[in-house]
Amino acid sequence: MAPFPIALSRRGARLSPWLVILAVLLCLFLWKIARGQATAPPARTEDRRNAGQLKSEQVVENLVRMNLQRAQALQAYESTRIYRLEYKGFPGGRSAEMVVNMKYRAPGAKEFEIVSQSGSKILIDRVFKKLLEGETDANDGENLKRIAVNQENYEFALLAYESGPRGGLYVLSVTPRTKNKYLFQGKIWVDDEQFAIVRMEGGPAKNPSFWIKGTQIETRYINVNDFWLPAHNHSFTSVRLGGHADLSIEYKGYRITGANPFKNVNSAAASVK
């Protein structure tokens, strides 16, 4: 999800409502993954003999199972975020930046403290702050169920098995079963030992506006004290009237302040025949 352009009038600047909608989409995409991302203990050496041999169904089953355990294990953490947005196009360019401290407490409470902000006030008020509000709204249990990365909401297909910095990665295509604007379509990269999503690329399953020509999103995750959490998100939107909007979120300074132990996936790789 990415921002939509700003429209200006003689009476002052006003923001296209689609920019707010797309901002909420982004926080939902991030929240549905980050809420459950944690690592499992490394697989034993003997279990690596079948690395890369799992089928799509096995990868997804392990991913869903581990996501549930991760959601239950992650109790509290803190971090700092840097939001940056730049729009170029008609009728003119605008940019803004905001630094935010965040505290998370299970099962879904988040506290945000704005440390600094600069640039376009309308972008700060109508995009960055809407992102924070949307992330809070996304905590609803039924909403999380509808957007979860699982077999009920998506169809998966195994595309490749690649080498990664920590080991092997299963690459799967992700196709939503319904054209819901809160779902996404694209690809995910799943760690073959920890069954966590380490990278995702794609766009909204449903275009929320005729005026949006195309939207691309990329999110990468990092291991922080045995938990996978977002490291960087970048979204890019092209619009039919010309111009583009570029939104990025950098996550840093993670501190896990509360976590429960959880079981490793049951060595699915070792059972492949």
CATH code at position 263: 2.50.20
DSSP-derived secondary structure for the chain: -----EEEETTEEEE-HHHHHHHHHHHHHHHHHHTT--PPPPPPGGGGGGTT---HHHHHHHHHHHHHHHHHHEEEEEEEEEEEEEEESTT--EEEEEEEEEEEETTTEEEEEEEEEEE-HHHIIIIIHHHHHHHHHTT-HHHHHHH-SSTTTEEEEEEEEEEETTEEEEEEEEEESS--TTSEEEEEEEETTT--EEEEEEEESS-S-TTEEEEEEEEEEEEETTEEEEEEEEEEEEETTS-EEEEEEEEEEEEEEEE---PPP--GGGG--
What is the full per-residue pLDDT of the chain (273 aa) written as tens digits? Answer: 333 232 323 333 344 444 555 555 555 555 555 555 644 444 433 345 456 789 999 999 999 998 888 888 999 999 999 999 998 877 778 999 999 999 999 888 899 999 999 999 988 998 899 888 877 765 556 666 777 889 999 999 999 999 877 789 999 999 999 887 778 899 999 999 889 999 999 988 877 666 677 788 999 999 887 788 999 999 988 877 777 889 999 999 999 999 988 665 544 444 444
Residue 1 lies in a domain: no
pLDDT at 211: 65
Residue 73 lies in a domain: yes
Tell me the per-residue pLDDT of 126-165, one tens digit each, with 9 for 90 and over. 889 988 887 776 555 666 677 788 999 999 999 999 987 7
pTM of the model as a whole: 0.79
Residue 243 lies in a domain: yes
Average pLDDT over all residues of the chain: 78
Residue 165 lies in a domain: yes
Report the domain count for the chain.
1
Residue 221 lies in a domain: yes
Residue 20 lies in a domain: yes
The residue range of the domain holding 188 is: 6-271
pLDDT at 43: 41
Tell me the per-residue pLDDT of 186-203, one tens digit each, with 9 for 90 and over. 999 999 988 999 999 998
Residue 129 lies in a domain: yes
**Residue 118 and residue 55: Cα distance in Å, rounded?**
48
